[in-house]
């Protein structure tokens, strides 16, 4: 953890974010737990602390409890005033430029979402309204390139991975970049940083300018997965469900690297959508890949999917072991399939309107002890519904592991309990135990205390 900068520093906006209404400034300056100021402060602190081995939101807030950020309204626009910020975000007293850009990206997205909600422009009560809100946030962030052919590859994977796995993600990113493909990740370290780093070298070799490295995060996870320095377009979605929908509507194909419970949550989310009969004919290239050392990891993931969701779910993805060029070639062929399908269906290249995302995958899941215990984890339901409920289970474990609200709930009420069909619970138990053994739950060198208990019944 870095030392604090005791001086107060004022910074000016980037990318035209220089005008706010007096009402917006007042909301951002109003202190109080759970308010807009608190949300803004937490997100900004995570960005200022980027690059450090820290995945505990509570520990981060405690270490920098004296940190403060205020929005100053001036005659010529706004400034951000930082007090007691992490010193390593500065070089010779000047804030690192990429950090400065991301702070104003956070300001842009928080203000936009809040103003749209206040004006009743966002309808979070309907499936169509949520999809439109996700579109509006991405459009306002400026990540759409309507004239481009499909080329955006979303890369999922854990922030706590081995050196061999991290190096492999760079190799895959490199071969994607050589083929002109762009990268979108959850913006953090590990498997979220590696593909961007590899692609950045390849883009320079191919003179691909400007290259996009899009990071999509949300307030609950950003402290555990602070944006890596390669991200040049950061988007903050309101919650994990809208973040996941943004990934699948913005991206044209998805690569899954080794990870932990967060990666499983992402896998189950996408498989749940692809198992929905309405989406059965839409091409969506999905590849699981890692180095030779990760072969057993993907075998276990594959077995878990087969035992819970069935063989139809297994047909929705391909597994490539130690073959970065093969992964890149598969993504290229996938881009051609997506382009042809979008043309035939008159769908936009830059946003997948045709994909059906049911409300079960859109409504935010609150990981309370009661909600976790009452999740229907049995196979007496359609496979896409079981995927939705398994996704919620993994989401709750993520919250209990690293999110501030989940950590607080565990401290106050003890471990989450989950109950379900015996075979599913046995498979889940074995999978989670392997993640603990492989140190995929927390950063290496930190002791993991499970936040869950599994109960058959």
The H or E element spanning position 138 is helix 127-141
* DSSP one-letter string for 168-214: HHHHHHHHHHHTT-EEEE-SSSGGGTHHHHHHHHHHHHTT--S--EE
- State yes or no: pLDDT of 19 exceeds 90: no
- Confidence band (pLDDT; 50, 70, 90) for 15? low
What residue ranges do the domains of the chain occupy? 4-96, 131-345, 364-456
Q: How confident is the model at residue 74 (pLDDT cuts 50, 70, 90)?
A: confident
Fold of 4-96: MCP/YpsA-like (3.30.1850)
| Contact (CB, 8 A) for 105 and 235 | yes
pLDDT of 2 > 60? The answer is no
Average pLDDT over residues 206-229: 91
Instruction: Name which of 405, 397, 396, 401 is nearest 61 in CA terms.
Output: 405
DSSP 55: -
The pLDDT assigned to 53 comes to 58
Whether residue 305 is predicted with pLDDT greater than 70 in this model: the reply is yes
Q: Residue 57's pLDDT band (boundaries 50, 70, 90)?
A: low
Is a pLDDT exceeding 60 seen at residue 3? no
Helix (H, G, I), strand (E, B) or coil at 287: strand
221 φ, ψ to 5°?
A: -110, -15
Q: Is the pLDDT of residue 367 over 90?
A: yes
Tokens 């049995």, located at residue: 378
**Residue of 217, 174, 201, 2 lying closest to 96 (CA atoms):** 2
**Tokens matching residue 358:** 């049911």
Q: What number is the average pLDDT over the span 234-263?
A: 97
The per-residue pLDDT of the chain, averaged, comes to 90
pLDDT band at 237 (very low <50, low <70, confident <90, very high): very high
How far is CA 380 from each of CA 57, 308, 371, 372, 377, rounded to the nearest angstrom?
A: 37, 11, 19, 18, 9
Pairing of strands 416-420, 90-91: unpaired
As given in the structure block, the two tokens for residue 414 are 């003890």
Task: Give me the phi and psi of 5, to 5 degrees please.
Answer: -95, 115
- The more confident residue out of 57 and 357 is 357
Tens digit of each residue's pLDDT (9 = 90 or more) over 129-174: 999 999 999 999 999 999 899 999 999 999 889 999 999 999 999 9
Query: CA–CA separation, 55 vs 226, rounded Å?
Result: 9
Distances (CA, A) of 356 to 57, 104, 239, 270, 415: 33, 32, 19, 11, 35
Q: What is the pLDDT of residue 245?
A: 98
What stretch of H or E contains 69?
A: strand 68-74
CB 191, CB 257: distance < 8 Å: yes
The predicted structure's pLDDT at residue 440:
87
What local confidence, expressed as pLDDT, does residue 349 receive?
97
Percent over 70 (pLDDT), the chain: 93
13/427: higher pLDDT: 427
pLDDT at 34: 59
Question: What pLDDT sits at residue 76?
Answer: 65
Give the residue-averaged pLDDT of 237-254: 97
φ and ψ of 153, to 5 deg = -105, 120
At 7, is the pLDDT very low, low, confident or very high (cuts 50, 70, 90)?
A: confident
Q: Which residue has the tokens 């935010």?
A: 364
Q: How confident is the model at residue 280 (pLDDT cuts 50, 70, 90)?
A: confident
Angle at alpha carbon of residue 227, lines to 22 and 443, rounded to 5°: 135
pLDDT for position 28: 73
| Contact indicator for 109, 235 with CB cutoff of 8 Å | yes
182, 196, 256, 400 from 203: Cα distances, Å: 9, 10, 21, 38
Please identify, in words, the CATH class of the domain defined by 131-345: alpha beta
pLDDT for 457 = 65
């Amino acid at each position: 953890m870095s030392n604090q900068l005791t001086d107060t520093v004022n910074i000016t906006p980037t990318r035209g974010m220089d005008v706010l209404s007096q009402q917006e400034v007042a909301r951002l300056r109003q202190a109080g737990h759970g308010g807009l100021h608190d949300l803004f402060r937490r997100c900004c602190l995570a960005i200022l602390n980027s690059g450090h081995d820290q995945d505990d939101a509570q520990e981060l807030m405690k270490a920098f409890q004296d940190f403060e950020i205020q929005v100053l309204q001036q005659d010529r626009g706004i400034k951000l005033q930082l007090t007691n910020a992490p010193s390593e975000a500065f070089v010779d007293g000047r804030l690192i430029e990429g950090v400065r850009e991301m702070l104003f990206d956070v300001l842009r997205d928080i203000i936009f979402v809040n103003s749209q909600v206040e004006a009743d422009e966002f309808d979070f009560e309907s499936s169509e309204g949520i999809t439109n809100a996700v579109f509006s946030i991405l459009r306002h962030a400026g990540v759409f390139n309507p004239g481009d052919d499909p080329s955006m590859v979303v890369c999922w994977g854990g922030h706590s991975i081995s050196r061999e796995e991290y190096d492999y993600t760079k190799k895959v990113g490199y071969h994607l970049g050589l083929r002109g493909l762009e990268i979108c990740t959850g913006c953090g370290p590990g498997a979220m940083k590696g593909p961007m780093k590899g692609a950045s070298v390849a883009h320079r070799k191919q003179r691909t300018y400007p290259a996009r490295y899009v990071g999509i995060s949300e307030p609950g996870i950003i402290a555990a997965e602070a944006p890596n320095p390669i991200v040049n377009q950061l988007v903050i979605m309101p919650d994990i469900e809208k973040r996941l929908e943004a990934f699948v509507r913005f991206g044209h194909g998805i690569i899954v690297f080794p990870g932990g419970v967060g990666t499983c949550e992402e896998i189950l989310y996408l498989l749940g959508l692809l198992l929905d009969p309405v989406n059965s004919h839409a091409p969506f290239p999905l590849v699981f890949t890692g180095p030779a050392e990760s072969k057993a990891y993907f075998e276990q993931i594959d077995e878990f999917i087969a035992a819970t969701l069935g063989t139809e779910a297994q047909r929705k993805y391909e597994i490539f072991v130690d073959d970065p060029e093969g992964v890149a070639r598969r993504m290229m062929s996938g881009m051609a399939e997506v382009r042809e399908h979008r043309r035939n269906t008159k769908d936009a290249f830059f946003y997948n309107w045709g994909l059906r995302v049911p409300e079960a995958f859109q409504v935010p899941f609150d990981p309370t002890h009661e909600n976790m215990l009452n999740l229907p984890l049995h196979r007496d339901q359609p496979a896409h519904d079981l995927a939705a409920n398994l996704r919620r289970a993994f989401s709750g474990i993520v919250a209990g592991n690293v999110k501030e609200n989940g950590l607080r709930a565990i401290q106050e009420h003890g471990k989450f309990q989950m109950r379900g069909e015996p075979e599913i619970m046995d498979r889940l138990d074995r999978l989670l135990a392997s993640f603990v053994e492989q140190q995929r739950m927390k950063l290496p060198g930190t002791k993991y205390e499970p936040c869950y208990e599994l109960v058959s019944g």
